[in-house]
Amino acid sequence: MIDRIQTSITRRGLIAGAATMAAALAGCSGGQGAAGGSSAAAGSASDGGARTLRVAMELAYPPFETKDDAGNPSGVSVTFMQDFADAYGYDLQIDNISFDGLIPSLQTGKADAVMSSITITPEREEEVDFTDPYAMAQLAILAGADSGVGQAEDLNQADKTVAVKTGSTGDVYATKNLANAQILRLADESACVTEVAQGRADGFLYDQLTIYRNNLANPDTTRAVFIPFQDPEAWGIAVASGNDELREELNAFIAESKENGEFDRLTEQYLADEKAAFDELGFRWFFDFDDADAEGTAEADA
């Protein structure tokens, strides 16, 4: 069920020139909306009022997408989308939708965009359009303390059970590479963690931050395995296929955010401790775009 929540988050500071941009774009239309309409987002006001931007998230992945103590949307993605909405003259609406319903919400016109820590994959690109990457993540393993798992290959055995969140890239990896294991698909990451912590699963595949945080929460029953077993994953914001206007606005804001300290502010607000831990462990940070640009240049020169 969709838990529709209107947000009214105070913006921490508009990007330079945002007021002028918002005024210029307030009455713009063009491109294909989620339901095949002509506007970038639903609810454009004919009297020049703010356009409504409906963004779908699964509010179950702190600190990126979650709820505060009062039950309101909160987290990195929520604040980022509020900042974008303020800059471009949108009235933001957050819809809390289960992970497997996020892409369908775009295809059926129930949402204009999805920002929910979604990895850009070729399969998903056949269903929706993605923005440029706004974050990079790496898969890791939350292993049972007594599982004997020290690397991904150790899970590829008939006597091993691998917990994955249904539809996640961990699910995709396990399906393609751990065919000998028993794959346990569950609706959310907390259920996967419970299976490992209680000894019913030998490992859980998910991003490094989730594995790091849940190992800290369950130090006696789990171990974190951070040995890389695939390339970093790029996260993007999804829009309905053909909604070029909204995608281009989002791309412009992502590019601006990389330059003006937006991602540094989000890190300080929500992820300061995790950033310090990642630096100590030598992990690539979610918003380490310099490395991404360097890798892209190296590939182009190869």
Between the CA of residue 116 and those of 70, 141, 221, what are the distances in Å?
A: 20, 21, 29
**C-alpha–C-alpha distance, residues 158 and 250, integer Å:** 45
Answer left, alpha or beta for residue 36, where phi above 0 means left and psi between -120 and 50 means alpha: left
CB 232 within 8 A of CB 207: no
**C-alpha–C-alpha distance, residues 154 and 148, integer Å:** 8
pLDDT in tens, the chain (302 residues): 444 444 434 343 333 344 334 333 333 333 333 333 334 565 544 445 679 999 999 999 999 999 999 999 999 999 999 999 999 999 999 999 999 999 999 999 999 999 999 999 999 999 999 999 999 999 999 999 999 999 999 999 999 999 999 999 999 999 999 999 999 999 989 999 999 999 999 999 999 999 999 999 999 999 999 998 988 999 999 999 999 999 999 999 999 999 999 999 999 999 999 999 999 988 889 999 765 443 433 333 33
- Residue 41: predicted pLDDT: 63
- Residue 48: predicted pLDDT: 57
- Residue 281: predicted pLDDT: 87
Q: And the tokens for 53?
A: 């931007």
237, 243, 246, 247 alpha-carbon torsion, rounded to 10°: 40
Reported pTM: 0.77
Q: Is 105 exposed, middle or buried (0-12, 13-18, 19+ CB in 10 A)?
A: buried
Q: Which has the closest alpha carbon to 65: 54, 56, 77?
A: 77
Q: Is the peptide bond before 63 cis (omega within 30 degrees of 0)?
A: yes
54 beta partners: 93
262-270 and 244-260 are packed helices; what angle lies between their axes, rounded to 10 degrees?
80
**136 CB contacts (<8 Å, ≥6 apart)?**
232, 233, 234, 235, 284, 286, 287, 288, 291, 292
